[in-house]
Amino acid sequence: MNIVIAGGTGYVGKNLTTALTNNGHNVYILTRNPDQHHNQEKVTYIGWLNEEYQPEQQLPDIDAIVNLAGDSLFGYWTKTKKDKIFQSRINATYALIDLIKKMNTKPEVLINASAVGYFGTSQDQTFTEFSEEKGNDFLAEVTQAWEQTAVEARSYGVRTVIARLGVILGKEGALPLMAMPFRLFVGGKIGSGKQWVSWIHIDDVVGLILFAIHNKEVNKAFHLTSPQPVQNKALARTLGIVLHRPNWFPTPTFLLKTVLGDMSILVVDGQKVLPEKAMDLGYEFNFPTIEMALNKIYE
């Protein structure tokens, strides 16, 4: 298969590219700076998001597009940072819709990233792909606009999957930051510890994207989360055990809100999200429990 990845140089994109090429697929990574990358066997970098680039003229017939593009959520959320988070996702997705429009042969599927933040935060509700509740905070607004833009691909006959990602656990991303206090012997739960963490191991992120590409029954919203979300206090306890560190020092919520500003919503609040479609369609998780995931990462 020929597969396009937007945002292919990020953590998820790099892992997905490795999995695809190992399975014999050709990957075309869309980037603003193709000259800064070297093509490899089965990996080609294609320029886009600039008037000088015309990716539709460089690409062969494409079977699937995976959109992971967007400015990182990490960093203090100033107004400028929020604008970058929002606009980078919307602009990249519009560019992909335009690319699909120009393609003579349309891809079979678009896998468009989103996030479980779509639902807002809650300590007592459980959300599946069939939940109709929507949040009203910044992340919810971003993901709702992002998803609304992506579904325009359906007007070109493209199966469109909205891949709502949970907190990705792996060697990069959020986990090293979460683990740092434990490594310094000052780890513990955050606030009450009752907030839910809908997490997923990086290997299952890749596995579910591949599953969505190949399984035509996967459509519309699709949750990329573990079937066993945990509360923050359970995550902290497991991190302490795996890292052989104490779990004695709870972090006050007000401290994180002071230090991180609005970005604190990523760690202070949460939501309990289940991957109902993946379970119903028979996807077998590599790491269904937090203990399995953390032990693998820190083995």
pLDDT at 160: 98
pLDDT, tens only, 83-99: 999 999 999 999 999 99
Angle of helix 232-243 relative to helix 174-183, nearest 10 degrees, comes to 60
Arithmetic mean of pLDDT, 200-206: 98
- Say which residues have a Cβ less than 8 Å from residue 20's Cβ, sequence separation at least 6: 3, 27, 210
Q: Regarding predicted confidence, which is higher, 284 or 255?
A: 284
Dump strand ranges (E) for 128-234: 159-165, 167-169, 196-197, 199-201, 220-224, 230-231
pLDDT band at 118 (very low <50, low <70, confident <90, very high): very high
For residue 119, name the pLDDT band (cuts at 50, 70, 90).
Answer: very high
How many folded domains does the chain comprise? 1
The answer to whether residue 42 scores a pLDDT higher than 90 is yes
Print the domain residue range for 254: 2-297
Band of the pLDDT at 251, cuts 50, 70, 90?
Answer: confident
- Residue 188 confidence (pLDDT): 94
Q: What is residue 253's predicted lDDT score, i.e. its pLDDT?
A: 86
Distance, in Å, from the CA atom of 108 to the CA atom of 105, rounded to the nearest integer, reads: 9
The answer on pLDDT for 269 being more than 80 is: yes
Q: Is the pLDDT of residue 259 over 90?
A: no
How many residues does this entry show for the chain? 299
Q: What average pLDDT is seen over the chain?
A: 95
User: Which pLDDT value is given to residue 243?
Assistant: 97
CATH of the domain at 114: 3.40.50.720
